[in-house]
């Protein structure tokens, strides 16, 4: 499959193409389901456009627990179908679709009761493994094992002796959600989809009671275009109800937002060779290995405030620290927290007051003719959601197309960077020698770009300075910033620091030290002048300050007010009215 860059020029070309033709499918929303839907439709031979109001994965899809898993707690709820479906999708991503982005991760489950709990939990994890193998895609994932207390503390010395009587260890998978979502849209573009970020739908176009397109406002230039389409897909997650409202009709179902907060701490703060999964009074708490860090989460509380920038409060952070400290020899403090991120889960509205009990399954329906809505679901099953919504849209194309539309093909469509990944991984020592980079650096790049690593290394070969570490964030190369702007659709500083890399939560300063260099490197690709570079850095620093302030507030309302003190960045040319 040929590589297709999400470059500044490709964005302009996409907007021009969408304004000049009637698409078969217009997808609204650049999250994991929107990107998956665009890829599904494009690989069926349909003409496709995807528009996203901000950046790819700027909502829920960059703020998950970064796991691709079946969901042990859903097994306990006896939701066998959801677990089986998710385990198959986990295996597909590990083995075929995205082996460069998805990898196995071990978890330790401490047992607190002798006898019955080992039998109960062991039976559940054993069934989990069996369902994984039965999916046909679980044979590469190690099976669970039983451990004594001594054996558990040997691989996780930070666990308090009185926190467990024994343990189980099992395996799941993790993913860099923001990069995976970006690769979905980029792969869709490689198959012919028109992809444009910073393109906000302001209204839906209706003719005779049918939705036939959308008015799209280009936030970069200030212009508005009309995009006509035979079917419009609403894949906007927690914004589903707002997008449905553009049609002037009440939707068939509604989405409720649940806030999930995660903390990031340095790897040396918890001595363990494995992740942890802990029971809480409401759900479960994960301690997830993430490079030189741990991700600790998550909370699960109702949220009705700003959906653009959900804020973590002091009480959220205290909740997570209190629960993880119950099992740690050396308790974590607020001073140990490098980063915090909060996201919103789109849950199908239920009757139960506790969001952890609302449905994680998805639904597809027609709000009005021509508009298909997909909502709910979980990250792992994005491909199934995309298949279902495009199947529904295709049924609405009957009589509008002269050809038969083939069924979903994405089970057999690897993402860009997946093809040849194993082979090129075996050559990492050769890549290190030819590029002059350390082999560990090559391993890092392979886990972010897969077989597209050659495109990044070509930048280093052309300008050796790009092979140097980034000031203020030495885990990343300068070339990665340039590549993010030239090939991965990054338009603003926040896009790179928060989603193309994860500097915003991996550094104690949240990326403020790296911001000036990142702005300078991005500016080379995006033709920023000094004023725009300064504007980008200023807005990013204000965002960090607002987030830090919100995290000292006692509750959601005060945290939200503090976070909203920092507006989104606006290009200088648009802000001043220049063209």
Q: What is the pLDDT of residue 361?
A: 80
Q: What is the dihedral of CA 75, 79, 84, 85, to 10 degrees?
A: -130
Mean pLDDT score across all residues of the chain: 94
Exposed / middle / buried, residue 527 (Cβ in 10 Å: 0-12, 13-18, 19+): exposed
DSSP 342-410: EEEEEEE--S-S-GGGSB-SEEEEEEETTEEEEEE--GGGHHHHHHHHHHHHHHTTTTT-SSPPPPP-G
Separation of alpha carbons 516 and 565, rounded Å: 22
Separation of alpha carbons 146 and 159, rounded Å: 16
Q: How many degrees, rounded to 5, is the angle at CA 461 between CA 459 and CA 462? A: 65
Provide the H-helix boundaries in 469-571: 478-487, 493-494, 503-506, 515-526, 530-550, 556-563
The token duo for 340 is 């915090």
Beta-carbon contacts of residue 147 (< 8 Å; ≥ 6 apart): 108, 155, 166, 167, 168, 169
- pLDDT at residue 372 tops 90: yes
Q: What is the pLDDT of residue 74?
A: 87
Largest CA distance in the chain: 72
Relative to beta strand 255-266, strand 293-297 is antiparallel
User: pLDDT (tens digit, 9 = 90+) per residue, 434-455?
Assistant: 999 999 999 999 999 999 999 9
- Under a CB-based contact definition with an 8 Å cutoff, are residues 358 and 257 in contact? no
Beta-carbon contacts of residue 238 (< 8 Å; ≥ 6 apart): 59, 60, 255, 257, 307, 344, 345, 346
Q: What is the pLDDT of residue 503?
A: 98
Q: What is the pLDDT of residue 354?
A: 40
- The structure tokens 């009757």 sit at 351
Q: What is the pLDDT of residue 578?
A: 38
The number of helices, as runs of H, and strands, as runs of E, in the chain is 21, 20
pLDDT tier at 570 (50, 70, 90 boundaries)? low
- pLDDT at residue 351 tops 80: no
Q: What is the arithmetic mean of pLDDT over 410-423?
A: 97
User: pLDDT (tens digit, 9 = 90+) per residue, 205-227?
Assistant: 999 999 999 999 999 999 999 99
Separation of alpha carbons 214 and 205, rounded Å: 5
The token duo for 358 is 């609302």
- pLDDT at residue 359 tops 70: no
pLDDT tier at 572 (50, 70, 90 boundaries)? low
Query: CA dist 283 to 72, 76, 296, 356, 539, Å?
Result: 11, 11, 14, 7, 36
- pLDDT at residue 355 tops 50: no
- pLDDT at residue 299 tops 70: yes
Relative to beta strand 166-175, strand 145-148 is antiparallel
The token duo for 282 is 């409401």
pLDDT tier at 360 (50, 70, 90 boundaries)? low
Q: What is the pLDDT of residue 571?
A: 65
Q: Among the listed ranges 72-86, 87-101, 103-117, 298-312, which one has the minimum average pLDDT value? A: 72-86
User: pLDDT (tens digit, 9 = 90+) per residue, 63-102?
Assistant: 999 999 998 888 988 989 999 999 999 999 999 999 999 9
- pLDDT at residue 9 tops 50: yes
User: pLDDT (tens digit, 9 = 90+) per residue, 20-71?
Assistant: 999 999 999 999 999 999 999 999 999 999 999 999 999 999 999 999 999 8
User: pLDDT (tens digit, 9 = 90+) per residue, 162-198?
Assistant: 999 999 999 999 999 999 999 999 999 999 999 999 9
Separation of alpha carbons 489 and 522, rounded Å: 11
**Which uninterrupted H or E stretch holds 125?**
helix 116-134
Q: What is the pLDDT of residue 536?
A: 97
User: pLDDT (tens digit, 9 = 90+) per residue, 234-288?
Assistant: 999 999 999 999 998 777 778 999 999 999 999 999 999 999 999 988 789 999 9
Separation of alpha carbons 474 and 269, rounded Å: 20
Q: What is the pLDDT of residue 282?
A: 77
Torsion sign (Cα): 565, 566, 570, 576: positive
């Amino acid at each position: 499959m040929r590589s297709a860059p999400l470059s500044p020029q490709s964005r302009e070309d996409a907007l021009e193409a969408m304004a000049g033709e009637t698409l078969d499918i217009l997808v609204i929303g650049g999250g994991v389901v929107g990107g998956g839907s665009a890829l599904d439709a494009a690989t069926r031979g349909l003409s496709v456009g995807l528009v996203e109001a901000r950046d790819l994965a700027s909502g829920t899809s960059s703020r998950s627990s970064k796991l691709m898993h079946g969901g042990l707690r859903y097994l306990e709820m006896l939701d066998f179908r959801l677990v089986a479906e998710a385990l198959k999708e986990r295996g597909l991503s590990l083995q075929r679709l995205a082996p460069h982005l998805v990898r196995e991760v071990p978890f330790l489950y401490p047992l607190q009761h002798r006898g019955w709990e080992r039998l109960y939990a062991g039976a559940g994890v054993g069934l989990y493994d069996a369902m994984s193998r039965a999916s046909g895609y679980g044979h590469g994932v190690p099976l669970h094992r039983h451990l004594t207390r001594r054996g558990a503390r040997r691989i996780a010395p930070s666990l308090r002796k009185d926190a467990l009587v024994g343990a189980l260890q099992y395996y799941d998978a993790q993913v860099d959600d923001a990069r995976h979502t970006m690769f979905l849209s980029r792969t869709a573009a490689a198959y012919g989809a028109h992809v444009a970020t910073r393109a906000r739908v302001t209204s839906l176009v209706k003719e005779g009671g049918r939705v036939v397109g959308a008015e799209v406002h280009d936030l970069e230039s200030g212009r508005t275009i009309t995009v006509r389409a035979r079917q419009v897909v609403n894949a906007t997650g927690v914004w589903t109800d707002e997008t449905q409202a553009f049609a002037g009709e009440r939707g068939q179902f509604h989405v409720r937002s649940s806030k999930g907060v995660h903390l990031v701490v340095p790897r040396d703060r918890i001595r363990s060779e494995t992740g942890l999964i802990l029971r809480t009074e409401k759900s479960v708490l994960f301690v997830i290995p993430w490079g030189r860090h741990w991700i600790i989460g998550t909370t699960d509380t109702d949220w009705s405030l700003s959906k653009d920038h959900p804020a973590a409060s002091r009480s959220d952070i205290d909740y997570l620290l209190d629960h993880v400290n119950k099992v740690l020899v050396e308790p974590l403090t607020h001073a140990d927290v490098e980063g915090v991120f909060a996201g919103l889960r789109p849950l199908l509205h239920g009757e139960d007051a506790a969001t952890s009990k609302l449905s994680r399954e998805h639904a597809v329906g027609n709000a009005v003719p021509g508009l298909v809505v997909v909502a709910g679901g979980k990250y792992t099953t994005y491909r199934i959601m995309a298949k279902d919504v495009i199947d529904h849209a295709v049924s609405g194309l009957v009589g509008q197309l002269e050809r038969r539309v083939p069924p979903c093909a994405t089970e057999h469509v690897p993402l860009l960077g997946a093809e040849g990944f194993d082979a090129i991984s075996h050559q990492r020592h050769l890549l290190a020698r030819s590029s002059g980079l350390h082999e560990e650096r090559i391993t890092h790049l392979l886990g972010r770009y897969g077989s597209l690593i050659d495109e990044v290394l070509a930048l280093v070969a052309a300008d050796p300075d790009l092979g140097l570490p980034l000031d203020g964030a030495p885990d990343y190369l300068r070339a990665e910033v340039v590549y993010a702007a030239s090939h991965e659709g990054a338009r603003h500083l926040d896009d790179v620091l928060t989603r193309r890399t994860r500097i915003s939560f991996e550094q104690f300063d949240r990326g403020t030290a790296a911001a000036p260099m990142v702005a300078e490197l991005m500016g080379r690709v995006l033709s920023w002048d000094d004023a725009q570079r300064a504007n980008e850095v200023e807005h990013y620093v204000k965002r960090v300050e607002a987030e830090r302030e919100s995290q000292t507030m006692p509750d959601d309302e005060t945290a939200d007010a503090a976070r909203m003190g920092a507006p989104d960045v606006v290009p200088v040319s648009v802000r001043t009215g220049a063209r």
